[in-house]
Structures are given as structure tokens and as C-alpha cells.
Amino acid sequence: MLNIKGHAVPQGHYIDGAWVPGANTYSIFSPINGEALGELPAGAQSNVDAAISSAAAAFPQWAALGAQGRLPYLQRFAEEIGKRKDALCDVESTDAGILLSRLQHGIIPRSMLNITWFAEAALSLQDKLIDTPQAQHFVRHDPAGVCAIITPWNAPLMLTTWKLGPALASGNTCIIKPPEWAPLSSALLMDAAHAAELPPGVLNMVHGEGQPTGAYLTADSRLSRISFTGSVSTAREIGKVAAENLVPCSLELGGKSPFIVLADADVDLAARTGALMYRNATQVCLAGTRFLVHDSLLAEFTEKMAGYVASLSVGDPQLEKTEVGPLIHPRQLQRVEAFVDRAVKGGAEVLWGGTRHEAGELYYAPTMLGNVHQDDEIVQKEVFGPVLVMQSFSSDEEAIAMANATDYGLGGVCFGEESHAKSISFQVRTGFIWVNSFGIRDLAAPFGGCKKSGIGREGGDWSFEFFCDIKDVIVPKKPFSPSFAQR
């Protein structure tokens, strides 16, 4: 067991309902202060094999339970997550650097809901009837089989439960491969599943790095689905092996989302919302990171947003007052610094920030770069750190063209008079866009990106469409008479 702030965290893989040690280990650290947190097993091919065998063996019985039969298990799972609230908050804040307050008030309740909402929604996943003069078509949602679930470090608990909820509720069995930089909340999730008496094999976890452990998992031809959230480059690797095995993938990837401020926007509300983009040190896929501001408002908006950003409290994510925490890892800090260096050498102007922050080793000051151009790397590529860019436009057409001129298409934000902002939002090519707001989500709504931001949608019915095999059972209305001339 690891001891994280007084909470015991199991250290092994979780396979077939039991904790399994590993031969090799890797070390984990807290981004808050670099403190060594301990060692975890690095999953070998044999661990992945065992987890997939266990999930495959558990599948028929779990699927046969039906949504009604699975409901009490999943309700108990959510209750057990709730019982571990303090541990999950302390542990995920310690290993992922996420704000403790956000975990307490947002992420833990949402993680419980991710399980119960889909468990209940699955009850109404009834056969859809297509009634024609010839026949009745009973369209069924059958569970697909064994699912691999792979998530990144920036929101491990939220993203893992968001995928596990619909996968388990619709009758699949799962193997999760937690993010290696923030794996500990996944261990507590397995502990919760164990206490909830989920049948052995229904939910398994193999720790380890993307290479080789994640790759062992995604290459296995016994999988029926791969649900992945992470970077474009990893998605390409996974896509290749999934294509080889013809395994459907859901890919939720990065973004470079526009934050548009139209001429008729409420400048103060837009500027206050703009400062929110530094939440989790902008290690947030859906943050608006390219500010596109109408010429007439540029000076006023910049001044107001600078004021709100100056008052942000950067520091230890476990302190109540903190609003912006650390970057996850020294490699992420180097990546952020290198982006800023290259941008400044290319002529970008630092409007604020642009340096490390005094709060500690892995803290970077909320930064805004101006004087950037559409083709610049800093405008095109995802930084995944607290570095935003500001550009201006003079017409709606120009704003839309600039918003759409990157390879990404995840999300967006648009401030302006409501009907105006809505009409612009309809023309921005992304998976979702917030009008005069940010971050409003609902489990029934679709989530995902277009262009290089992903393939597929999860959320509500879209999750069930992905995690199920759709089958048409056709029953003729008149006695059937076999004929070679039949259409």
C-alpha cells in the first residue's frame, strides 16, 4: 500500500477481482512539490493478457444480467466512490495537481453521477421498433464485449468514470490503463469496485506507461472497443493497431479552441470568463486558447482580462484560495517554455506572464501572447499549458475564417448579443461551442471533436451507440414464402 496524505492506496494491478503485484516498477511524483509518492507496477504483456482473459470470461454473465440486473452493482459502485471522497480528493490533487476545491465540489459528485446516470439511462435502452407493412424490425443495443479504456493525466477520475459508466451499464467488461503521471485515483476506483462486489473480471486495471503497457492492451485482437482520450500522436498509434484488428475506436483528442469576442459582447463578462481558461494551468482540452477579439474592443478587453488574470491566485492546489495549480511534470514545463521561447523569437509580444511562476518548481505564470499570425506554431499547435494567444478581427466573416483555420475542431466560446453569437457559433467547425458561457456540460449531450480533435462522440445515447453492437431482429408480418425472385 502507498500512503498518500494518510490514505492507503493499493499498489498492484487489479485483475480478476484481486490485487496483483508486478515484477518491474516505475516511480510517481507529486507535481505540487516534486515529492516522491512511491512505486507502481509497470504492466507486462502477461498482466495485460490476464486482464483481457478475465474480462472476456466475465462478459457473458455480466451481459446476461441486463441493465436492471447491473443497476444495483453500479449504484453500489457509485456509493463506494462517494465513501472514498476525502481519499480521492487528497490523492488526485496530490498526484495530478488538480485543485482540491474543484475535486470536492465538482469532480467527485460528477464521477459518481457518471456511473449512476448511465446505469439508469441504460434501463430505457429498449428495443426500438421500426414497423413497416412487411415486417417489424426490433433494433437492439447489444453489449459489444471487452473494452479498453485509456485516459490522460489532466482529468483521470472524471474521464475514466465518464467512459466506465456507459461501458459497464450497457453490459461490457473493461480494462483500464491509467495515465502514468496520475494513476492513483484509478487504484482507489478499483478499491471502490471491489467493495461494491462487482463480479471478478468485470472491471480490471493494469498500470504502466503508454509504451509498452498501453500498446500491449490496444494491440490485443480480443478487444471489442477502444475508448481513448489523449493526444493526436497516440491516437494515430492506436488507430493503426485498431485498424489491423478492425476494433472500433472512440478518439477524444486535443484542441486549439477559439474564444471569440464579437463587437456586441459584454466585455466584462467575456474578460472574466477568459481568465477561467487558466483553470488547471490550461491543461484542459476544451479551454479556449485562441482569443479572437473584435478590433473595436481589443484594447478594452485586453486591459480588463489582464486585471482579472493579475488577481488569480497561483500556487498549491490543496489551498482553498488557489485558482491555478502546477503543470503536471518537468517535461510539460519544458514543453511550455519551449513554445513561448519559439513564439517570442518569431516576434510574439508577451502581454502578460511569459515566465515561470515563483510558486514552485512546476508553476508557470498565466501568459498571453499578442502580435501572432494565423500560421504561427503558437496559433496552430496545442500547448496544453497556461499560454494563450490574442488576435483581432474586423468582420464576422474574418472571425469565422480565423476560428476555423487550424487542424483542430474540439470546442469554442463565443461572446456577443445572443442571436449574433449563436449565428456565428453555427458556422464554427467544432464538436461543441458555448455561447456567452463556458464549461456547461450535461451527461445527455454529445461530447467530442471534429477534424484532428477526434473521431466519434461520447455522452448520452452517443456513448451507448459506441459501446453497443446495434442489431436488427426482423420478424415478417405475413407468412414467409421463400423465393429466389425476392428483392
Strands 128-131 and 454-455: unpaired
d(CA 164, CA 168): 6
**Is there a catalytic annotation at residue 414?**
no
d(CA 287, CA 450): 16
Q: Which is nearer to ligand NAD, 401 or 444 (CB)?
A: 444
How many helices (H) and strands (E) are present in the chain, helices listed first? Answer: 16, 24
Contact pick of 43, 165, 171, 210 for ligand NAD (by CB under 6 A) = 210
d(CA 4, CA 100): 14
Count other C-beta atoms under 10 Å from residue 104's C-beta.
Answer: 16
Residue 179 binds to ligand NAD (criterion: CB under 6 A): yes
Q: 80, 92, 252, 382: which one is catalytic? A: 252
Residue 95 binds to ligand NAD (criterion: CB under 6 A): no
Residue 238 binds to ligand NAD (criterion: CB under 6 A): yes
Sign of CA pseudo-dihedral 283, 460, 163, 8: positive
Contact string (CB under 6 A) for ligand NAD, positions 247-286, x = contact: -----xxxx-----------------------------x-
Contact string (CB under 6 A) for ligand NAD, positions 359-398, x = contact: -----------------------x-x--------------
d(CA 460, CA 107): 18
* Among 202, 165, 224, CA closest to 64: 202
Secondary structure of residue 116 in the 3-state scheme: helix
Q: 147, 174, 249, 285: which one is catalytic? A: 285
Part in contact with ligand NAD (CB under 6 A); list of ranges 132-140, 231-239, 256-264, 337-345: 231-239
Q: Smallest distance, Å, CB 411 to ligand NAD?
A: 9
Q: Which is nearer to ligand NAD, 84 or 177 (CB)?
A: 177
How many Cα atoms within 13 Å fall on the side-chain side of residue 262?
20
Residue 45 binds to ligand NAD (criterion: CB under 6 A): no
Part in contact with ligand NAD (CB under 6 A); list of ranges 59-67, 208-216, 261-269, 466-474: 208-216
Q: Which is nearer to ligand NAD, 204 or 229 (CB)?
A: 229
Q: Smallest distance, Å, CB 196 to ligand NAD?
A: 24
For the sheet containing 349-352, what is the strand order?
A: 349-352, 367-370, 387-393, 288-294, 257-261, 413-415, 434-435
Residue nearest to ligand NAD (CB): 210
Q: Smallest distance, Å, CB 25 to ligand NAD?
A: 16
Helix (H) or strand (E) holding 137: strand 135-143
Residue 252: CB partners within 8 Å, gap ≥ 6?
228, 229, 230, 285, 447, 448, 449, 453, 454, 456, 458
Contact pick of 54, 172, 229, 250 for ligand NAD (by CB under 6 A) = 229
Q: Which is nearer to ligand NAD, 145 or 230 (CB)?
A: 230
Part in contact with ligand NAD (CB under 6 A); list of ranges 211-219, 350-358, 370-378, 395-403: 211-219
Part in contact with ligand NAD (CB under 6 A); list of ranges 116-124, 153-161, 308-316, 372-380: 153-161
Residues touching ligand NAD, count (CB under 6 A): 31
d(CA 37, CA 15): 23
Distances (CA, A) of 361 to 69, 338, 390: 50, 16, 27
**Is there a catalytic annotation at residue 468?**
no
Contact pick of 173, 234, 391, 436 for ligand NAD (by CB under 6 A) = 234
d(CA 460, CA 451): 22
Residue 143 binds to ligand NAD (criterion: CB under 6 A): no
Residue positions annotated with a catalytic role: 252, 285
